Amino acid sequence: MLVKHVSRVRALYRRILQLHRLLPVHLKALGDQYVKDEFRRHKTVGSEEAQRFLQEWEVYAAVLRQQANENRQNSTEKACFGTSLSKEKLNDFRDEQIGQLQELMQEATKPSKQFSITESTKPKF
């Protein structure tokens, strides 16, 4: 049973990282780090929490795949990723999780200023 569980976790982890390749660069980096941290943090949780953890990440993977496919089909529009959380889901979160969610939202909505290209005013000869 444990081997099957470990195999399922690893497969899901790999699938999510593969799906992140479809995200814009700044979201990919943020998402990869978040996934690594969360999977590491939940390595030793109990069986019930592990099942819920995996279910939520499987939903995330399915939504991300669907959004990536929709974005590919609507290539003329700006790519859109993410989803709103219901009040019920938010009420299930602990205070620590709400804090993590706020930090994640702030990082994800920061303007992407990784590369700054400025034109030189000097003539090129």
Tell me the C-alpha distance between 37 and 26, whole Å: 17
**Residue 123 structure tokens:** 């003539």
- Kindly give the parts of the chain with pLDDT less than 50: 114-120, 122, 124-125
How much is the pTM? 0.71
Per-residue pLDDT tens for 59-95?
999 999 999 888 888 876 677 777 777 888 888 888 8
pLDDT of residue 113: 53
Q: Token pair 């290539």 is at which residue?
A: 75
